[in-house]
Amino acid sequence: MIALIDYGMGNLLSVYKAFQACGADIEITSDPGVIADADAVVLPGVGHFGDGMKHLSENKLDLQVTEAIRQDKPFFGICLGMQLLMEFSEEAPNVKGLGVFKGGVLRFPESSLKVPHMGWNNISLRKNNSRLFQNIDDESYFYFVHSYYVSCRDDNIIAAECSYGINFTAALTSGNIFATQFHPEKSQDKGLQVIKNFIDVVNS
């Protein structure tokens, strides 16, 4: 069973339906015991970094996330769920992230481009392409909604990049940890393929 963590940060139902459509055995939960017993964990989210960390810590779900990762369970962070893996965010300077990866979350610089970055954009797959992008062509398009982007200190875990005024990290992979800045649940066939690829990792 895949535990889809409910910490009050939106887009749960669309993620749940997408995983179900791909054949996943998935349960929406905020119960630490259910998360601990799950075979894999998905951390979605839309909204403010500080609120996300607050809601996670209030129910000790932050500990469940880091413990699942420590146990090497397949983990998938989506949008805010990816950003929370970092050490800090400019969106909430006094709030510590989960610190799974070294680096932070930065706001897009001022430019002629609108912020938030919203809509379809193509991604460039890296040479260390992960299992998350099996059967996905380079430069495929995915759906983004975000004003902040991940700046990762370890270049080796960057699985895909995207360009919006600057090049930024679109996806991370490290062992059984997978994360995307884009929303696979809103990215039609390509997004569903990404979800299927994660399910294949869980079932392997």
Q: Kindly write down the DSSP assignment for every residue of 170-191, as one continuous string.
A: EEEEETTEEEESS-GGGSHHHH
Catalytic residue among 55, 117, 146, 183: 183
Catalytic residue among 22, 79, 152, 162: 79
Q: Is 183 a catalytic residue?
A: yes
Catalytic residue among 22, 91, 117, 185: 185
Bridge partner residues of 179 (DSSP): 77, 172
Q: Are 38 and 76 in contact (CB under 8 A)?
A: no
Sign of the torsion formed by the C-alpha atoms of 27, 33, 37 and 40: positive
Among the listed residues 27, 26, 23, 29, the one whose alpha carbon sits nearest the alpha carbon of residue 8: 29
Q: Is 55 a catalytic residue?
A: no
Q: Is 79 a catalytic residue?
A: yes
Bridge partner residues of 142 (DSSP): 121
* Cβ partners under 8 Å of residue 42, min gap 6: 2, 3, 4, 5, 15, 19, 26, 75, 76, 77, 78, 81
Q: Are 45 and 9 in contact (CB under 8 A)?
A: yes
Cβ count near 37 (within 10 Å): 11
- Catalytic residue set: 79, 183, 185
